[in-house]
Amino acid sequence: MSTNWRSTIPGYLPSRLTISLWDFSWYTMSGPDEPFHNLEKVLDELIERGYNTIRICAAPILLYGDLGVAANALAISSMGGAVGEGTRWYNPRGGITIDLQSRLFELLALAKKKSVWVILSSWEYQQSPAFSETSDWNDALMDIPPGMRFEVLAQCWVRMLEEIKARGLRDAIAYVELHNEVDLSLVGVNGRWTDSDHWDRKTSMEDAIGLLRSAHPDLLHTTSYGIPPFLHMDTAPSNSQVAHHHLYVYGVLQALFDWSQIRAEPPVYPTAEMKSLLRPDAPDFDTYRAGVKAWTLDATITPLSYLYASDYANGAAWDAWLYRNYALHELEMRRGIDYRLSAISTWSKLHGVPAVIGEGWVGFTPAASEFEDGPIGQEITQYAVQSARELDFWGIVVGSNRAPHHSGWSDISHQLSINEEFIHGGTRE
């Protein structure tokens, strides 16, 4: 028989989480005049918008894995050339050196002071090392045998959490994710897991979560999924204490990708359709590719073709295409939200744990596109958050593009209204 999930939440945590996705950008974009330079200022802005939680990469393997990489003098870089400049996440200026451990403790101390909670995660097998000046961090991660990576992550989290507690900062932690998007960031190329390892991966995750739960039973521990396995929810680790999933519906955005072949594999350059979405000053693809540091592409799962299309996107052309075609995909996108939220909710209730959407809703558009920040995107957000609240989710995002490093951060009233509605608009006690 399932347990009411509220009884599993430590007493120091709030009844609802309103989450802003700070990912790895909170340290990669921390230079002078960059969005996260002044942590106290951006936390005050967070509270002003109705958020009470942030979700970050805490880089546990870098900080507590004895990789031989100087985390106290981590040199941050761009991905090379113009690569990433037109995206929402891959555009740090670089040229700074940070003490990441000290910065982490500063953030946690400020969060505790301001009654903000932090979801600790890791993007280390997805993007974080791509913004290091050298490949040392990425090389050291890839040297860890694939079958040991969940165990190593758990061991590093255990050590990190011990020090966080020793500094009196435990109450700043909402919960701990073993790794971001375990279904996407640890599969495929460069020694990551493959789909054929599916069941072994589940056992490995359960063992790692068990290690964390044993070492730190006063905290919540889980994984996160980029694509909820809503047709096979039994593949998620059964001992997760939070049903944390991401819900990108794509729909009309996926139709744009298919039409233009922006994300075609093998790549096709350039289609006439793709050209119609680019600015006139877009260089040819080979010239663009020559500017990238090749190893950085191994440190991120994002294809270079998509980065190219984003970096030279004509935002007006993207948005016009999406608006013209949205009506053909509206029902599909709403149903996608309904089906996935329902499956996650059912699993969470069966296991007696809270459900959280840590990223969503439309998908990854270039920084020049305003579609998700505009009226249709806001309507989708309203529908998704309302549905999640009706299903009694513990936590939601207004959208993955709602954070200090995104243009949508400036729309204070929309974020505040969505967050207040989720927290105060009614709960099923």
pLDDT of residue 245: 97
Tell me the residue type at 276.
S
List domains and CATH numbers for the chain: 5-248+342-424 (3.20.20.80)
pLDDT of residue 428: 34
From CA 317, how far away is CA 118, in angstroms rounded?
A: 37
pTM: 0.95
Tokens (6 digits) for 271: 């289609």
pLDDT of residue 3: 66
Residue 84, Ramachandran bin (φ over 0: left; ψ between -120 and 50: alpha; else beta): left
Q: Considering just the CA atoms, what is the radius of gyration of the chain in Å?
A: 20
pLDDT of residue 198: 52
From CA 352, how far away is CA 114, in angstroms rounded?
A: 30
pLDDT of residue 427: 40
The phi, psi pair for 119, rounded to 5°, reads: -85, 120
Length of the chain (residues): 429
Q: What string of pLDDT tens digits covers the 429 residues of the chain? A: 456 899 999 999 999 999 999 999 999 999 999 999 999 999 999 999 999 999 999 999 999 998 989 899 999 999 887 889 999 999 999 999 999 999 999 999 999 999 999 999 999 999 999 999 999 999 999 999 888 999 999 999 999 999 999 999 999 999 999 999 998 876 544 444 455 555 478 899 999 999 999 999 999 999 999 988 888 888 899 999 999 999 999 999 999 999 999 888 777 777 899 999 999 999 988 888 887 888 888 888 788 889 999 999 999 999 999 999 999 999 999 999 999 999 999 999 999 999 999 999 999 999 999 999 999 999 999 999 999 999 999 999 999 999 999 999 999 999 999 999 999 984 433
Count the neighbouring beta carbons within 10 Å of the beta carbon of residue 375.
9
Per DSSP (E only), the strands in 95-165 are: 96-98, 117-121
Tell me the residue type at 215.
A
Q: Is the peptide bond before 217 cis (omega within 30 degrees of 0)?
A: no
Quickly tell me which residue has 């939070």 as its tokens.
242
pLDDT of residue 147: 84
Q: Is 28 exposed, middle or buried (0-12, 13-18, 19+ CB in 10 A)?
A: buried
Tokens (6 digits) for 268: 């096709």
What are the beta bridge partners of residue 361? 248
Count the neighbouring beta carbons within 10 Å of the beta carbon of residue 115.
12
CB 276 within 8 A of CB 312: no
From CA 106, how far away is CA 95, in angstroms rounded?
A: 21
Q: Is 272 exposed, middle or buried (0-12, 13-18, 19+ CB in 10 A)?
A: exposed
The phi, psi pair for 352, rounded to 5°, reads: 65, 35
pLDDT of residue 20: 98
